[in-house]
Structure 1
Amino acid sequence: MKNLVALLFMISAFAVSVVSSKCYSCFSPNTTTCNETEVECLGDQCMTASQFINRDGDVFKSILKSCANETLCGTKGSVAVENSMFRFLANCCIGNLCNTDGYELLADDPTPNGVKCPSALCIGKIEECTSDKMMNCTGSMNKCFEFRGKAMDPSMAWKNYSSKGCINDDACKFNFDSAIGISEGQRQEFTC
Structure 2
Amino acid sequence: MKPYLKLLWILSIFAKSGHSLSCTSCLVQGATFCTGNNVSCPSGRVCAATHTINMEDGVKKDEYFGRSCVPEGQCQRPGIFSTYNSKSKKGISCCYTDNCTPTQPQLLPDDDKPNGLTCPTCKANGTQWCDTEMTMKCTGEETRCIVQYSKITGPGAQSTERILRGCATPSICSIGNQTHPTDGLSAEVQITCTGSVNGLHHHFNLHGIMAVVMMLLLITA
Q: Matched residue of 1:170: which SS?
A: helix
Match for residue 88 of structure 1? 90
- Which of 56, 60, 72 matches 1:70? 72
Distance in 1 (CA, whole Å) between partners of 2:187 and 2:81 is: 17
8 Å Cα contact 1:88-1:105 kept in structure 2: yes
Quote the offset at 1:104 in angstroms: 3.2
In structure 2, C-alpha distance between the alignment counterparts of 1:39 and 1:127, rounded to whole Å: 33
Counterparts of 1:106 and 1:55 in 2: how far apart (Å)?
17
Counterpart position of 1:139: 140
After superposition, the Cα gap between the structure-2 partners of 1:177 and 1:85, relative to the gap in structure 1 and judged at 3 Å, is: farther
1:12-51 to structure 2, matched below 5 A, reads 12-13=10-11, 17=15, 19=19, 23=23, 25-35=25-35, 45-51=46-52
State the 1:80 CA deviation.
Answer: 0.6
For 2:108, the aligned partner's letter is: L
Q: Of the two structures, which has the highest relative contact order with CA contacts closer than 8 Å and spacing of 6 or more?
A: 2
Structure 1 residues 45 and 127, CA, compared in 2 at 3 Å: closer, same or farther?
A: closer
Aligned residue for 2:112, secondary structure, equals coil
Q: Distance in 2 between matches of 1:87 and 1:122?
A: 20
2:171 aligns with 170
Q: Which amino acid aligns with 2:30?
A: N
The one-letter code sitting in structure 2 at the alignment partner of 1:69 is: P
Partner of 2:188: 184
Matched residue pairs, number? Answer: 182
The 1:34–1:166 alpha-carbon spacing in structure 2 relative to 1, beyond 3 Å, is: same
When residues 121 and 138 of structure 1 are mapped into structure 2, their CA distance, relative to the original with a 3 A threshold, is: same
Q: What RMSD over aligned residues (CA atoms) do the two structures have, in Å?
A: 4.0
Q: Say if 1:175 and 1:109 are closer, same or farther in 2 by CA, change over 3 A.
A: farther
Find out whether 1:53 has 2:57 as its counterpart.
Answer: no
Judge conservation of contact 1:44–1:95 (CA < 8 Å) in 2.
Answer: no
For residues 51-108 of structure 1, the C-alpha deviation after alignment (integer angstroms, 9 at most, x for no partner) is 1222454522222234453232122222111222122122123346653523532322
How far 1:140 sits from its partner (Å)? 0.6
The equivalent of 1:130 in structure 2 is 132
Amino acid at match of 1:135: M
CA, structure 1 residues 162+102, in 2 after alignment: closer, same or farther (shift >3 Å)? closer
Q: Could you state the TM-score of these two structures normalised by the residue count of structure 1?
A: 0.68
Q: Could you state the TM-score of these two structures normalised by the residue count of structure 2?
A: 0.61
Cα gap change, 1:113/1:68 in structure 2, threshold over 3 Å: closer, same or farther? same
Percent identity at matched positions?
A: 23
Structure 2 CA distance for partners of 1:11 and 1:78, relative to 1, 3 Å: same
